[in-house]
C-alpha cells in the first residue's frame, strides 16, 4: 500500500529498499553545493536542479525512515527464548512473512515528484537492520549489505486464536470448588499470620498508627459532623413519632385506621426512610455482621431489616399482627442521636485543647503504696485526640454481648413459634431483636459525656473521652500543689528585714536560690525581686529538705538555712521577739539569723469553692505543698473550713509526688486555665461520668435480656395480642428513664 508520509516526494531513482535508501542518505556529503545556473548550458542547469531536488527529497526521506525504524519494537532473536517457546507454538499456525516491496519513484512531465512505498503489514512486519553510521566508514567504501537470515532461523510467532475456534468451558471444580477452597485456605493462612504476629507483638500500641491530627483539625471535623447529623436526626424523629402513633393504635383517619395491611405498608415505607437517613449506621452494622464481629449497630440494623421483611409479608397478606417497625426505627434514631452527642462532646474537648495557649493536663500516677492519684502536669497534648476517640464502656460490653443476643433471639423465636405457629416466626424474631437493640445502649455514655463537656466548658476543662474518664473514675485522690491553692499573684511581700551587718544582695540571692531549688510556691515572689534588683542566683551544694519543711545547703563554703520561725528554733537559732511572726521566711548563714521575709497570702474564692467541693465529694485531696508556711491550720483560718479529711503527707512524700506521673501516662483531661477550679471540676465530673456510663450500660443490657425473656414467654403462650409494638415501645422507654436520670444527675 502507499504510505501517506512518503506520497508525492521524488522522481524515480530506480528500485530501492528501505535499508538502501537509509544507507544512501547516511553516505551523502555533509553539505551540498547549490546549483549554478548557466544560460549557455541549459542541460547542465536542468541537471543541477534535478540534483538539488534529489538531495532535498533524500534528506526528508532519510529522516522519515530513521524515525520509523526507531519506533519499531525490537525483534528478539534469542535462542533460549525460541527454545522456551517451541512447546507453545504450533508450526502449522505460523504465517510466513511476506516479501517486502521496494519503493517506486516517479516524476511527471510537469515536474511533480511521487514516491510509492508499500510498507509491510503488522502480521508480517520485518524490522530493518541497523545500518552503520556514515562517519564510522571510509567515504570511498560502500557499507557491506548484511545477508538476509534464513526463514527457518527467524523467531516463530504465536498462533492467533481464530474467532470461530470454540473456547474450552471451565469445569464445575474450576468454577465452584476451587474458589471456595482458595477462600478457606486464605482465611486460615490469615488467622495463622495474625496469631504469629500477636505472639510476637502482644502489645497493640506498639504498631505505628500514623501521625495524629491536631486538635484544631479534629475540632473542625467534629463540628462539621454535628451539623450534618442535625437535619437527619430531625427527619428521623418526625418519622418515629408517626410510627409510634400507628403502633399505639391512636386515632387514624380513613382506610389507614381500619386496614392492617395499610398500616403495615405505611410502617414499611417510614422504616425504609429512616434506614436511608441512617444509612451509615446500617452499613456499619451490616459490615460488622459480615465480618463476624457484631456490635450495637449490628443489633439495630438487623432488627430493622427483619422488621421490614415482616412488614412486607403483612402488606401482602401473609401476617396478622402489626410489625415492630417503630422499635427498629427508634433504635436507629437513638444510634444517630448517640453519634451526634459523641461528636458534639469531642468537638468541645478539641476546641478546649486548640484554644489553650499554655495548656496543662490532668494525668494519673501512683504513690509509694500503689494507690492512683490525679495531678496537674505541664505536658504537650500529644495523644489527646486518640484518647478522646477511644471506645466507651458500652461499645466494649456490646461487642461481647451482641453475638450472644443475636443467636439467643434466633433460638428463642424458633423455640416459641416452631413448629406449631411457624407463621409467626418472622414476627417473633423481629420482636426479640428489637428488645435486644435497646435505645439506651447508644446513649448510656454519649448522653452524660456531652452534658459533662458542656458543663466543664466555662471552667476551662475538658475530659479526654472514655479513656480519660476511666482513669479519673479509678482514682479517688487528687494532688494539689502550691500554685493550685495560691495562683501566681496571690502571694506578696508584707515586709523585708535584713539584719545589721548582712549584705542585702547576698541574703536575697541565697534565699531565692534555695527556694527555687525546692520548687516552693513562694519562690516566684523572690524571683521577681531578683530580676527587679538585678541580682543573680547561685548553685547550692549539699541541698537537703528537712522534715519540718526547712531547707539547708552549702554555698561558697557557708551553711545556709531557710525555713519558718519554728524551723529556726529547732535548728538552735533564736529570733528576736519582734520578728516572731506567722508566714515568715527566715534565712540564716553559718548559724546566725540574717533576714526575715514576712509573706502575705491572699485567698481566692474559686479555690475556696473547689475545697468545699472536695470536702463534700468522694475525691480526697493530697496536699503536696512545698511551701512550709502552708499548713492545715493556715488553710482552716484563711478559707474557714474543716481540714479533717485533708491529707498532708510528709515532706519527703510530697517531693516524690511533685515529680509527677510518668511522661508515658495517658491524658485524663485538658486544663486550659490555671487555678484549682478547673482541676477539681474535671476530677469530680470525670468520676461521676465514669459511674453514670457504666451503670447506664448495665441497665441497658439488663433491660434487653429481661425484655427478650418476657417476649419469649408471651410468644410461647400464644399471647401475640399482648406482645404488640406499642407495648414494646412503652417497655423500652421505661428502661430508658433511669439512664436519663443518671445523665442529668451527674451534670448537676
Least confident among 92-101, 284-293, 737-746: 92-101
Q: What is the mean pLDDT of the chain?
A: 76
The candidate with the shortest Cα–Cα distance to 313, out of 146, 166, 427, is 427
Among 106-115, 163-172, 213-222, name the most confident range: 213-222
Contacts of 295 (CB under 8 A, 6+ apart): 285, 288, 395, 398, 399, 402
What's 380's DSSP letter? -
Percent of the chain at pLDDT > 70 equals 70
Q: Please give the radius of gyration of the chain, using alpha carbons only, rounded to the nearest integer.
A: 46
Among positive and negative, which fits the CA dihedral 681, 682, 687, 692?
A: positive
Q: Please tell me the least confidently modeled range out of 55-69, 149-163, 704-718.
A: 149-163
> Taking residues 242-259, what's their average pLDDT?
81
Strands 620-623 and 477-480: parallel
How much is the average pLDDT of 512-529?
89
Per-residue pLDDT at 383: 81
Calpha distance 573→559 (Å, rounded): 13
Q: Comparing 13-22, 219-228, 308-317, which segment has the lowest mean pLDDT?
A: 13-22
Element (H, E) at 224: helix 215-247
pLDDT interval class at 227 (50, 70, 90): confident
Query: Over the stretch 538-588, which tens digit does the pLDDT of each residue have?
Result: 888 888 888 777 899 998 888 999 998 888 888 888 888 777 788 889 999
Q: Which residue has the higher pLDDT, 330 or 201?
A: 330
Cell of residue 711, nine digits: 417476649
Strand order in the sheet with 491-498: 491-498, 592-601, 584-589, 558-563, 551-555, 541-545
The tens digit of pLDDT for each residue in 500-517 reads: 888 888 999 999 999 998
Note the pTM of the prediction, 2 decimals.
0.66
Q: pLDDT (tens digit, 9 = 90+) per residue, 473-482?
A: 888 888 888 8
Contact 601, 489 (CB under 8 A): no
Among 175-179, 353-357, 429-433, 703-707, the minimum mean pLDDT is found in 175-179
Helices (H), 573-675: 605-616, 632-639, 651-658
Query: Does residue 208 have a pLDDT over 70?
Result: no
Provide the residue ranges of all domains of the chain, joining segments of one domain with +.
18-153, 215-359+377-453+678-746, 470-603+613-676
Residue 60: pLDDT band with limits 50, 70, 90: low
Q: Can you give the pLDDT at residue 665?
A: 62
pLDDT value at residue 660: 56
Q: What is the mean pLDDT of residues 144-153?
A: 45
Rounded Cα distance between 34 and 41, Å, is 16
How would you classify residue 489: left for phi > 0, otherwise alpha for psi between -120 and 50, otherwise beta?
A: left
Q: Give CA angle at 390 (386, 394), nearest 5°.
A: 170
pLDDT tens, position by position, 291-335? 888 888 899 999 999 999 988 888 888 877 888 899 999 999 999
pLDDT at 193: 56
pLDDT (tens digit, 9 = 90+) per residue, 436-462? 988 888 999 999 999 999 999 888 888
Confidence of residue 191 (pLDDT cuts 50, 70, 90): low
pLDDT at 206: 38
Mean pLDDT value across residues 341-369: 83
pLDDT at 569: 87
pLDDT at 451: 92
* pLDDT for position 315: 87
Report the topology of domain 470-603+613-676: Calcium-transporting ATPase, cytoplasmic domain N (3.40.1110)
Band of the pLDDT at 661, cuts 50, 70, 90?
low
pLDDT-based confidence at residue 164 (cuts at 50, 70, 90): very low
* Better pLDDT: 154 or 720: 720
List the one residue out of 626, 584, 652, 650 whose CA is nearest residue 485.
626
Q: Residue 339 above 70 pLDDT?
A: yes
Distance in angstroms (rounded) separating the CA atoms of residues 206 and 516: 39
User: Residue 23 above 70 pLDDT?
Assistant: no
The span from the CA of 347 to the CA of 341, in Å, is 10
Name the more confident of 62 and 617: 617
Residue 157 has pLDDT above 70, yes or no: no
Q: Is 187 helix (H, G, I), strand (E, B) or coil?
A: helix
User: Which residues are within 8 A (CB) of 350 and not within 5 positions of it... i.e. 6 or more apart?
Assistant: 215, 216, 218, 219, 222, 385, 388
For residues 113 and 8, the answer to whether their CB atoms sit within 8 Å is yes
* Residue 659 pLDDT level (bands cut at 50, 70, 90): low
Amino acid at each position: 500500500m502507499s504510505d501517506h508520509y512518503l506520497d508525492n516526494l521524488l522522481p524515480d531513482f530506480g528500485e530501492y529498499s528501505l535499508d538502501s535508501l537509509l544507507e544512501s542518505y547516511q553516505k551523502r556529503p555533509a553539505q551540498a553545493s547549490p546549483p549554478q545556473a548557466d544560460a549557455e548550458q541549459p542541460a547542465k542547469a536542468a541537471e543541477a536542479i534535478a540534483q538539488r531536488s534529489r538531495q532535498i527529497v533524500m534528506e526528508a526521506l532519510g529522516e522519515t525512515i530513521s524515525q520509523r525504524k526507531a519506533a519499531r519494537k525490537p525483534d528478539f532473536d534469542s535462542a533460549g527464548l525460541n527454545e522456551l517457546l517451541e512447546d507453545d507454538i504450533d508450526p502449522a499456525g505460523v504465517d510466513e512473512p511476506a516479501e517486502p516491496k521496494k519503493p517506486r519513484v516517479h516524476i511527471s512531465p510537469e515536474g511533480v515528484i511521487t514516491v510509492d512505498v508499500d510498507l509491510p503489514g503488522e502480521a508480517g512486519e520485518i524490522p530493518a537492520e541497523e545500518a552503520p553510521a556514515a562517519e564510522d566508514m571510509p567515504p570511498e567504501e560502500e557499507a557491506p549489505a548484511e545477508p538476509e537470515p534464513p526463514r527457518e532461523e527467524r523467531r516463530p510467532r504465536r498462533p492467533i486464536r481464530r474467532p470461530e475456534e470454540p473456547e474450552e468451558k471451565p469445569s464445575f471444580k474450576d468454577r465452584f470448588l476451587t474458589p471456595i477452597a482458595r477462600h478457606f485456605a486464605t482465611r486460615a493462612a490469615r488467622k495463622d499470620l495474625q496469631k504469629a504476629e500477636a505472639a510476637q507483638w502482644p502489645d497493640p500500641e506498639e504498631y505505628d498508627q500514623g501521625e495524629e491530627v491536631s486538635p484544631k483539625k479534629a475540632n473542625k471535623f467534629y463540628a462539621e459532623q454535628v451539623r450534618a447529623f442535625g437535619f437527619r436526626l430531625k427527619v428521623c424523629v418526625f418519622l418515629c413519632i408517626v410510627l409510634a402513633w400507628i403502633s399505639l393504635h391512636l386515632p387514624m383517619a380513613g382506610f389507614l385506621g381500619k386496614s392492617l395491611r395499610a398500616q403495615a405498608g405505611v410502617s414499611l415505607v417510614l422504616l425504609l426512610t429512616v434506614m436511608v437517613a441512617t444509612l451509615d449506621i446500617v452499613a456499619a452494622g451490616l459490615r460488622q455482621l459480615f465480618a463476624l464481629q457484631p456490635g450495637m449497630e449490628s443489633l439495630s440494623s438487623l432488627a430493622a431489616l427483619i422488621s421490614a421483611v415482616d412488614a412486607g409479608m403483612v402488606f401482602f397478606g401473609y401476617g396478622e399482627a402489626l410489625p415492630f417497625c417503630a422499635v427498629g426505627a427508634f433504635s436507629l434514631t437513638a444510634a444517630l442521636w448517640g453519634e451526634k452527642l459523641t461528636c458534639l462532646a469531642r468537638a468541645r474537648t478539641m476546641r478546649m485543647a486548640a484554644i489553650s495557649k499554655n495548656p496543662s493536663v490532668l494525668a494519673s500516677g501512683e504513690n509509694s503504696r500503689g494507690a492512683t492519684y490525679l495531678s496537674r502536669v505541664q505536658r504537650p497534648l500529644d495523644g489527646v485526640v486518640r484518647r478522646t476517640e477511644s471506645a466507651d464502656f458500652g461499645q466494649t460490653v456490646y461487642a461481647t454481648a451482641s453475638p450472644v443476643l443475636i443467636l439467643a433471639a434466633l433460638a428463642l423465636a424458633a423455640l416459641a413459634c416452631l413448629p406449631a405457629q411457624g407463621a409467626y416466626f418472622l414476627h417473633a424474631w423481629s420482636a426479640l431483636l428489637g428488645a435486644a437493640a435497646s435505645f439506651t445502649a447508644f446513649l448510656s455514655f454519649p448522653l452524660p459525656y456531652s452534658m459533662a463537656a458542656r458543663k466543664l466548658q466555662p471552667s476551662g476543662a475538658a475530659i479526654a473521652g472514655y479513656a480519660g474518664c476511666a482513669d479519673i473514675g479509678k482514682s479517688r485522690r487528687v494532688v494539689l500543689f502550691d500554685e493550685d491553692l495560691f495562683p501566681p499573684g496571690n502571694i506578696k511581700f508584707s515586709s523585708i528585714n535584713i539584719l545589721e551587718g548582712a549584705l542585702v544582695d547576698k541574703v536575697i540571692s541565697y534565699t531565692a536560690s534555695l527556694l527555687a531549688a525546692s520548687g516552693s510556691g513562694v519562690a516566684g515572689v523572690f524571683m521577681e525581686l531578683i530580676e527587679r534588683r538585678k541580682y543573680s542566683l547561685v548553685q547550692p551544694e549539699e541541698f537537703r529538705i528537712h522534715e519540718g519543711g526547712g531547707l539547708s545547703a552549702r554555698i561558697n563554703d557557708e551553711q545556709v538555712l531557710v525555713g519558718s520561725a519554728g524551723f529556726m528554733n529547732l535548728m538552735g537559732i533564736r529570733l528576736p521577739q519582734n520578728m516572731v511572726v506567722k508566714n515568715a521566711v527566715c534565712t540564716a548563714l553559718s548559724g546566725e539569723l540574717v533576714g526575715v521575709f514576712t509573706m502575705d497570702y491572699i485567698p481566692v474564692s474559686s479555690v475556696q469553692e473547689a475545697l468545699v467541693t472536695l470536702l463534700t465529694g468522694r475525691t480526697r485531696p493530697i496536699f503536696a505543698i512545698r511551701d512550709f508556711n502552708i499548713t492545715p491550720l493556715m488553710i482552716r483560718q484563711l478559707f474557714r473550713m474543716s481540714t479533717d479529711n485533708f491529707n498532708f503527707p510528709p515532706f519527703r512524700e510530697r517531693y516524690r509526688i511533685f515529680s509527677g506521673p510518668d511522661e508515658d501516662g495517658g491524658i485524663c483531661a485538658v486544663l486550659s486555665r490555671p487555678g484549682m477550679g478547673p482541676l477539681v471540676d474535671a476530677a469530680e465530673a470525670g468520676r461521676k461520668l465514669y459511674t453514670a456510663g457504666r451503670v447506664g450500660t448495665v441497665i441497658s443490657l439488663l433491660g434487653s435480656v429481661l425484655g427478650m425473656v418476657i417476649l419469649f414467654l408471651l410468644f410461647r403462650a400464644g399471647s401475640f395480642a399482648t406482645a404488640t409494638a406499642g407495648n414494646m415501645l412503652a417497655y423500652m422507654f421505661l428502661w430508658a428513664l433511669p439512664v436519663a436520670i443518671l445523665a442529668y444527675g451527674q451534670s448537676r
